[in-house]
Each structure stands twice: as structure tokens, then as C-alpha cells.
Amino acid sequence: MKKIKILNVFLALIICGSAYAQNQDEVLHSVLLNNKSIQANNTYLNKLNLEAKTGLTLNNPTISYLHLWDQNDNTGYTEEFEAKQSFEFPSSYAYKNIISNLEIEKTEDRRKLFSIDVLLEAKMACTEIIYLKRKKEESNMRANYAMKLVDNIRTKLQNGYTTQFELDKALISEMIIQNEYMDISNLLQKKEDHLVELNGGQAIQLKVIEYPEQPIPESLNALFEHIESIDPLNKLIELEIKIAELNIKLTRTGSLPEFEVGYKLEKSTLDKFSGVILGMSIPLWQNKNKVSVSKINMDHMKSNIVQHENEHYYHIKSIYDDYISASERLSKFQGLWNKLNYLENIEKALEEGEISTTEYFLELKTLYELKDNLLDIEKDYQLLLSQLNKFELLRLL
């Protein structure tokens, strides 16, 4: 029994560990399952699916019964029983069923559009977390270096090789770096809390510090064509047009007569009659202007396609232009950083007395600013790529 308990605890620890130690794809899968907005949207879309399935059957039949007494003869009476069923022209039911199926198909595309917006937000939150972790790691290295520098200058002061002024500057520099480290840690915690919020309040933590690989677009035109081919919104608009076309046909059936069939029984003291009821509406006024309205609605849908394609293209172009700019800057900064041996050079210059401590701290600040710019550009580059690759998140659905 004791062994079983130990095994259960061990398994629980493994499960808990797996809940925390996750890469980006695992985080996104978890958000897809646990996000409260996605769950609420799915419930709403399920309701729309049920609504799309209503109104497809015949109208309810009607039954009536009439009993009249003869006021002059206590034994005299008249009874009537009537059962009727009305129905539209048969083709209208066929159109309604097709429209219902298309409406249900629409909800699936709406589900995809909503979900990938949430997943993109989660993915960009992951990018921010990775960026802040990298900054935190860099800040920690700077804090350790500043502490060693303070110890070194303090030793020199004790041996009479420097002044209290030089030590004060080192202490101020150390304090500034420590404050930056605390700010980064605080911001990182907020971003991680936001990720937990996106995960429906369930604990989750991204345990990677490297950016995941993303597809690199070949060109703007190739990217736009690819996006247009998989964007659920395009399919949604196409379905809207199909529904608008079918609604025109359905509206035209309103110009056709509706029918009514039934059975009637009439009985009195002396006689008894029974037979069928046949009825037909004469569609004169009720359907007036409905076909014209449906046609205008379809034209509006078609104009939306052109408008959407135009807006979508320039939206993607704007992001793509920013991506190209960030890519070029990142390449230059990375090339420069990889060639630099700057820290060792200024340390050597300080040791040999070629520069003062003040000049050393100024040069060190310049070096740190360069590294910070590199980290910022890396983050911007990844965020822009995430936006361009937004619809690649469909693979998770």
C-alpha cells in the first residue's frame, strides 16, 4: 500500500512537471483547450448551429372542434371537426435545407477565425516572455559583472590605487543595473500572468529561452497568395454570397402559392357530412420588394470581397515592410555584435590606464545599449513574423 502511494505521488509530480515545462506549441494547445473566451464562443456558435436547424419543417397542423346547440329544440345540435395542414411550395424547403447546411458550415469558419486570434495573442505573449527572459539573463550577467567590478575597485581603494569617487561611480552603476533587473523581473511576471489568464486561469509556464523557428516569406506576393488561399474569412465571405444567392431563390418561392389540405367532419341532428379541405393562397402583395432586397444584399456581399481583399493586402504589406526593415537591421546588428570584442578591449584599456573609470563606464553603457537594441530588434522581428504567419496557427485547430 505504501509503495502504491509513493508511485501515485511520483506520477503526480511528473504530471505537474509536464504542466509547467512546456514549449510554445504545447502552450498554444493548452490555451486552445482552456481559454474561456474560446469556450464561450464555441457555446455561442453551437447555439447558432441549433438555430440554423430550426424552421425547416412544415408548419404545425391545426385542429378545431365546434359544437352548437339549437336554441329552439333541446335535442338539436351541430358539430364540426376540422384538421388542416398548410405547407409552402416544395422547392422552398429544399432551399431552406441547403441554406441551413451553409450556415452551419459558416460557424466552423467563424470558430477558426476567433480561435486563431486568441492563439496569435498567446503566441505573441510567448514571444514577449522569451524576450524578457533573454533580457533578464543579460541583466543578471551585467549585475554579476558590476558586483565583481565593485569588488575590484574596492580592493584597489584599500591598496591606495584609486579614489572613493571611482568606487562611488561603480556602486551607482551596480545599483542602476540591479534596478533594471528588478523592473525586467516584474514585467516578466506580468507577461506570465497574462499567459495564465489566456490559459483560462490554469497554471502554465513557458520554459524555453530561444525563439522557435518560423516560416520565412519568400516575397510579398507569394505570402499574400498563400494567406488568401487559407484565410477562413475568404471562405466565410464566399459562403455568405452562396447564401445570398439562395435567399434570392428562396424569396422567389414566396411568389408561388402556399397550399393547405385537411379533413372536415360536419354532423347535426339529422345529417352527417365529411370530406377533404383544399386551399391555396394567392401571392399578390406579401412578397413585394423582397426579391429586390435580396439582390441588393448579394451585391453588397460581392463588393465586400473586393473591399476585404484590398484592405487585407495593404494590411499585410504594412506588416511585411516592417518585417523587411527589422530583418535588415537585425542582420546588421548581429553581424556587428558577433565581430565585437569590445568588453575585453575596454577592460584592457582601463587596466593599462588608457581610459579613466568615467570613460570606461560610458563605453560600457554604449556596449549595453547596443546589446539592448539587438534584443529589441530580435523581439520585433519575431512579433512581425508571428503576424505574417498568423494563419499557420490553423494547424493547431
pLDDT tens across 37-71, in order? 999 999 999 999 998 888 888 888 899 988 888 77
The model carries a pTM of 0.84
The residue to which cell 575596454 is assigned: 346
How far, in Å, CA of 273 to CA of 81, rounded?
A: 10
Read off the amino acid at residue 76. G
For the chain, the domains span 23-58+91-256+287-396
Instruction: Answer whether 213's CB lies under 8 Å from 387's CB.
Output: no
CA distances 88 to 12, 255, 280, 329, 377, Å, are: 62, 11, 10, 67, 65
Instruction: Answer whether 95's CB lies under 8 Å from 249's CB.
Output: yes
Read off the amino acid at residue 247. N
pLDDT tens across 375-396, in order? 999 999 999 999 999 999 999 9
Superfamily holding 23-58+91-256+287-396: Outer membrane efflux proteins (OEP) (1.20.1600.10)
DSSP H or E stretch at residue 95: helix 90-158
How far out from the chain centre does Cα 269 lie?
A: 74
CA distances 334 to 138, 329, 364, 375, 377, Å, are: 16, 8, 18, 10, 10
How far, in Å, CA of 311 to CA of 13, rounded?
A: 50
pLDDT tens across 117-140, in order? 999 999 999 999 999 999 999 999
> What is the four-CA torsion angle of 10, 15, 17, 21, rounded to 10 degrees?
150
pLDDT-derived band at 3, boundaries 50, 70, 90: very low
Which residue(s) pair with 85 in the sheet?
261
Instruction: Answer whether 269's CB lies under 8 Å from 77's CB.
Output: yes
User: What is the sign of the dihedral through the CA atoms of 286, 287, 289 and 293?
Assistant: positive
